[in-house]
Amino acid sequence: MEFSLAGLVCGCAAMAAVVATAAPGGATALSVNLDVNGLVSSAVAHSAFREAARLWQPYRVELRESTDTPALTVTLDLSDGNSPDALGQSFFDEQGPMPFIAIHFNAVQRAVTQGRPFGIDGALAPEPVRDRVVARVLGRAIAHEVGHYLLRWEHHAASGLMRAQHRPAELADPRDRAYALTPLDVERLAASLRGPALAGLQSAAAANTAAAHQTDPGIERLEGRRRVAAAQ
Ligand SMILES: [Zn+2]
């Protein structure tokens, strides 16, 4: 069984590859609130966040945990989303990505069980091992959904982080070579960051000096939007 972070047809497979370029304008910071709903310990939550942040680091995007004025809220739930094998869900309306992400914890747990870390059923692994794998799978699911937000793109790549289908063994694998952006994704990221301001995105330098600010105008702008479409 493969787990899905997908559902929509990927329109990019037939497009020609382009040369990868780094995101322009220096590092970009994105503040994210991870609400685990008590489904995992805070240690697993932080570890999952670190995994997601680590996967975005090569592209000069800094994911920062924030509960005060997060741009993006990631919530763990026990729903099945659009299908039982869906690990996560992001949301778009006619103006683009919405600042909400859902991660479906039941599917994450099934992926851990089937991922067979160290050749054993993940559910039967010693707790520290199981926690590490749960954090890894969670982090990768979060990184994928954050990708939909950052790239402003509902679709899926043929390979890498933004592919639609993820084998449990890949999700659990300590090696992360299956979780890079494709050159075309990197182009999409650069184009997105050049575009109109995305809620909560700012240069890392500005984020460092703006910590005392109480409001984020980007969040206000996005309040009240309807959820009109979902992309897994
Ligand atoms: Zn997806």
Q: Which pLDDT score is estimated for 212?
A: 35
Rounded distance from Cα 19 to ligand 1 centre (Å): 23
* Cα angle: 36, vertex 177, 160; to 5 degrees: 75
Q: Identity (one letter) of the amino acid at 136?
A: R
- Could you tell me the CATH number of the domain that includes residue 93? 3.40.390.10
- How many A from CA of 151 to the centre of ligand 1? 11
Mean pLDDT of 211-222: 31
- Residue 171 CA to ligand 1 centre (angstroms): 14
Question: What pLDDT is attached to residue 82?
Answer: 79
CA distance 165 to 61: 24
pLDDT value at position 38?
96
| d(C-alpha 120, C-alpha 125), whole Å | 7
pLDDT at 214 over 60: no
CB 41 within 8 A of CB 79: no
- Residues ≥6 apart with Cβ < 8 Å to 127: none
Classify residue 223: in a domain, yes or no. Answer: no
Structure-model confidence comparison of residues 128 and 200, the more confident one: 128
Query: How many residues are there in the chain?
Result: 232
Token pair for residue 2? 């493969």
Of 69-73, 75-79, 137-141, least confident by mean pLDDT is 69-73
For residue 220, is it within any domain?
A: no
CA 165 to ligand 1 center in whole angstroms? 9
CA–centroid distance, 44 to ligand 1, in Å, is 23
pLDDT score, position 178: 94
pLDDT digits 0-9 by tens, 7-43: 332 222 222 222 222 334 578 999 999 999 999 999 9
In 3D space, the residue among 66, 79, 231, 40 whose CA is nearest the CA of residue 153 turns out to be 231
Please state, in angstroms and rounded to a whole number, the distance separating the CA atoms of residues 128 and 126: 6
Share of the chain above pLDDT 90, in %: 52
Residues near 180 by Cβ (< 8 Å), separated by ≥ 6? 55, 58, 160, 161
Residue 153 counted as domain residue: yes
Q: What is the mean pLDDT of the chain?
A: 78
Which residues are paired to 93 by β-bridges?
96
The reply to whether 209 falls in a domain is no
- Which residues are bridge partners to 90 per DSSP? 101, 231
217 band by pLDDT with thresholds 50, 70 and 90: very low
215: CA distance to ligand 1 center in Å? Answer: 29
Give the integer Cα–Cα distance in Å for 114 and 167.
Answer: 9
Largest CA distance in the chain: 49
Among residues 98, 174, 104, which one has the least CA distance to residue 136?
Answer: 174
- Assign 99 to helix, strand or coil: strand
- In total, how many domains does the chain have? 1
The per-residue DSSP string of 127-160 comes to: HHHHHHHHHHHHHHHHHHHHHHHHHT--S-BSSS
- Both tokens of residue 27? 């590092």
| CA–centroid distance, residue 148 to ligand 1 (Å) | 7
* pLDDT score for 117: 62
Domain holding 118, by residue range, is 3-13+24-202
Ligand 1 centroid from CA 104, angstroms:
13
* 131 CA → ligand 1 middle, Å: 24
